[in-house]
Chain A
Amino acid sequence: MKLDAKTPSGPIADKWEKHKFDMKLVNPANKRKYKAIVVGSGLAGGSAAASLAELGYNVDCFCFQDSPRRAHSIAAQGGINAAKNYQNDGDSVYRLFYDTVKGGDFRSREANVHRLAEVSVNIIDQCVAQGVPFAREYGGLLSNRSFGGAQVSRTFYARGQTGQQLLLGAYSALSRQVGLGNVKMYPRTEMLDVVLVDGHAKGIVVRNLATGKVSSHAADAVVLATGGYGNVFYLSTNAMACNVTAAFRAYKKGAAFANPCYTQIHPTCIPVSGDYQSKLTLMSESLRNDGRIWVPKAEGEKRAAGDIPEAERDYYLERKYPSFGNLAPRDISSRSAKEVCDEGRGVGDTGFGVYLDFADAIGRLGEPVIRERYGNLFDMYERITGENPYKTPMRIYPASHYTMGGLWVDYNLESNIPGLFVIGEANFSDHGANRLGASALMQGLADGYFVLPYTIGDYFARVGAKNIQPDGAEFKEVEKAVEERTRKMLSINGSRSVDSFHKELGKIMWENCGMGRNKQGLEKALQEIPALRERFWKDVKVLGDNSEMNLSLENAGRVADFLEFGEMMCLDALDREESCGAHFREEYQTEEGEALRNDKKYSYVAAWEYQGNDKRPALHKENLEFEFVKLATRSYK
């Protein structure tokens, strides 16, 4: 397999302009001859489907929720970055580009990141024109806040519901096109495979989740906007149904999967309270501005937080990182929390939690100020835990949150399968080994509104309209395989529920491929996962049948894919013998315990190619060149 990033030549700031000019166009009258399938209706898919339809293409859009408005993008809280420099504080496209490459610990492609920073400014204009109610100042202009990893205020927000408002904006544009008949929307429909015709992606096979009916859909190109795979850990801040199926099936059809081991663990989430726990809730990072993080100095401390005297507390972030203190970056804060809990100093019933304490801030500023700043978060915390954070410190613990890895794409966001485009969190493109806050929303909308509509047109113009129908042999064959797999799952009738397998996998992944990784643990996981997968296919119990709504069956398909995918993640983590960004290999750290990158050997994108079931995938490397941003070591001491 040859990985050609197709990065345009020329100065970094001119690449995208030049490329836009070099790409072929489809003349307006011919656009209606082309059809695109867009799988996903989140920020990436919703914005892409709407924009393609506006241009005159026919679009079929799919999502597994009952409405496109419920895609997981809805849950993003904090905000969206854009290099508008409205605050006159020295921001620029170049600075956003620089921050993102550095924040990604030098494991992303410079040209893609620069384009992202360029179009970021258009995103805000577009959303405002749609009626997205961003926060404003009294003068009527847009308000900004600052976010981790940046020294400028470039984050736009809509209260604590930025993702919701951006998604509802994209959904309104999408709805308009559905109403006009330019997009056909298929909610409650899950894509189960891609169909290739003559080596190009020309369709998908789906299952209607309300009726169980399996059917084929054909088009001139397929766009995957299917989100991230954080639920491989079972517990995460992702919505319950987020999964890797679409991307993984594309991988099995030949699309390379890039950097699967780059997964972001967010430091401030409400800890697990018991075995029944189904998901974890994020508490905004902004709390670390006023909260102090600590654990007891002694192992096995049983006293309540308030009864532990000052001298017996360890404010470990302040101790280890005096200049950044409680505001150390996500990966470092998460790892430090794990460390103290592993030492037996964690708090709460499970011992997996640390205190985030507002007593000092309340003493200094008074309760009303804290209520004004964080009231809604405190309420949410109390609703979930039943504890009042004004009185007792919050308990927090890191949780799986975002996945930087994804299907490999070139500069055009096209995978190595021609005609298969991948956008949003589902691709690997822009965040390297670590994503900065407020940059995922930006990337999803950049891909969907401003990049894909151009690059897909170039593909259409080059290959021409094929008017493929979904009844050819290629489609029938894939349909048959999909149905076979479903039948198999229903026929096992073993003794264990689907969820019990997912939980077990999650545990293996969290322990061995989570915040800290090492050779021994990864090798152990690589033994355990195939064994678990074998048990799944012998002993899973899926009730009901295939001709009706069947939630266990849906879930079984997703968990079966995670059981294969998890293995690839561990392989990737094992192969990468360095620490970078969120990937922390315990063997590779500095004397102070910080991540130790190895640019000479590992400055590449690891792209894995499927070789057959139970066979080791082949590793392909795309070398990363840093022409514009100088390689440097991040330091937060």
Chain B
Amino acid sequence: MNLILKVWRQKDARDKGRLETYEARNISEHMSFLEMLDVVNEQLVGEGVDPIHFDHDCREGICGTCSLVINGSPHGHQKATTTCQLHMRHFKDGETIYIEPFRAKAFPVIKDLVVDRSAFDRIMQAGGFVSVNTGGVPDANAIPIPKEDADKAMDAAACIGCGACVAACKNASAMLFVGAKVSQFAHLPQGKVEREKRARAMVSQMDSEGFGNCTNYYECEAVCPKEIKVEVIAKMNREYFRAATTKI
């Protein structure tokens, strides 16, 4: 198939950026979306045009590196699918596809479609951990954990930290991302010891990074490639409320 691409090009953070039009020719329906971009990039290099820069690594939907807003939706319109797992059979011959970066104040563009998501790392550094050092921990089976709790913790822990939730949200809120980590620990006895400190530290870092508030649009849940549920936000709010009413 042949496609028209409208791709966001931006030389660096200072550049204003604009949409450029490219043709993607002879695209097989078996290609992944990123393989389609590889083909276009080979073409561009041949013509002496700087290839389109985009982030990617594992190409199997687990590392959270790939991003892209495709036709207005982070990771495209296919449910529970990252951009790298989206295949061209979902597009039609002759279609025009808009490709833009994940946009948010806290995710500045580095180049073209590549954005800086290090704000997520800083939130984790503020409290996304259990404070144990290597060694000297109890036997793994010393604390039984009910299967349902372990399963719920795992549901939340499936987050790949891609940032689609932020890109989809009108307020650029990071609540789904932060909520997923807070919930994972809130379901486990290991996480309960530091629950107040964690909720407070992560939320305060999230605010200072410039992420917006959640006003219940639930766009985040709709685009999440790992189907993290908005319940994690409610859980986080409860944890935060608990922390706010607990003396340090």
Interface residues of A (CB under 8 A from B): 47, 50-51, 54, 65-70, 72, 74-75, 84, 86, 122, 124-131, 133-142, 158-159, 161, 164-165, 168, 171-173, 175-176, 178-179, 185, 187, 210, 239-241, 273-274, 276-279, 281-282, 383-386, 449-450, 453, 497, 499-500, 541, 543-544, 548-549, 551-552
B1-35 with Cβ < 8 A to chain A: 11-12, 28-32, 34-35
Residue of A nearest to B30 (CB): A273
Min CB distance A435 to B, Å, is: 20
Q: Do A67 and B87 have beta carbons less than 8 Å apart? A: no
Known: A134-B140, A210-B111. 15 other contacts (CB 8 A): A70-B65, A74-B64, A126-B134, A136-B145, A140-B145, A158-B154, A161-B62, A161-B158, A165-B154, A171-B124, A172-B129, A274-B31, A276-B31, A384-B32, A386-B30
Q: Taking the complex as formed, is B235 at the interface, i.e. its CB lies under 8 A from any CB of chain A?
A: no
A66 proximity list for chain B (CB < 8 A): 55, 65, 116-118
Q: Do B140 and A384 have beta carbons less than 8 Å apart? A: no
Q: Which of B57, B59, B135 contacts A65 (CB 8 A)?
A: B57
Q: Do A548 and B35 have beta carbons less than 8 Å apart? A: no
B153-201 with Cβ < 8 A to chain A: 153-154, 157-158, 160-161, 184-185, 188, 190-191
A179 proximity list for chain B (CB < 8 A): 125-127
Q: Which of B34, B120, B124, B146 contacts A172 (CB 8 A)?
A: B124
Q: How far is the CA of A450 from the CA of B45 in the complex (A)?
A: 47
Q: How far is the CA of A273 from the CA of B131 in the complex (A)?
A: 47
Q: Do A141 and B141 have beta carbons less than 8 Å apart? A: yes
Q: Do B29 and A386 have beta carbons less than 8 Å apart? A: yes
Q: List 11 A-B contacts (CB under 8 A).
A: A69-B124, A124-B140, A125-B138, A125-B140, A133-B188, A142-B140, A164-B158, A240-B59, A273-B28, A384-B85, A543-B48
Q: Do B137 and A129 have beta carbons less than 8 Å apart? A: yes
B127 proximity list for chain A (CB < 8 A): 179
Q: A129-B138, A140-B146, A497-B46 are in contact. Are A276 and B28 (CB under 8 A)?
A: yes
Q: A136-B145, A176-B129, A551-B53 are in contact. Are A449 and B134 (CB under 8 A)?
A: yes
Residue of B nearest to A241 (CB): B57
Q: How far is the CA of A274 from the CA of B58 in the complex (A)?
A: 19
Q: Do A549 and B59 have beta carbons less than 8 Å apart? A: no
Q: Do A175 and B125 have beta carbons less than 8 Å apart? A: yes
Q: Taking the complex as formed, is B247 at the interface, i.e. its CB lies under 8 A from any CB of chain A?
A: no
B132 proximity list for chain A (CB < 8 A): 126, 129-130, 173
Q: Do A131 and B125 have beta carbons less than 8 Å apart? A: no
Q: Which of A175, A210, A552 contacts B124 (CB 8 A)?
A: A175
Q: A67-B117, A137-B147, A450-B134 are in contact. Are A552 and B45 (CB under 8 A)?
A: yes
Min CB distance A610 to B, Å, is: 29
Q: Do A142 and B141 have beta carbons less than 8 Å apart? A: yes
Min CB distance B31 to A, Å, is: 6
Min CB distance B190 to A, Å, is: 5
Q: How far is the CA of A541 from the CA of B53 in the complex (A)?
A: 16
B11 proximity list for chain A (CB < 8 A): 548
Q: A67-B118, A133-B188, A136-B150 are in contact. Are A165 and B124 (CB under 8 A)?
A: no
Most buried by B among A51, A133, A137: A133
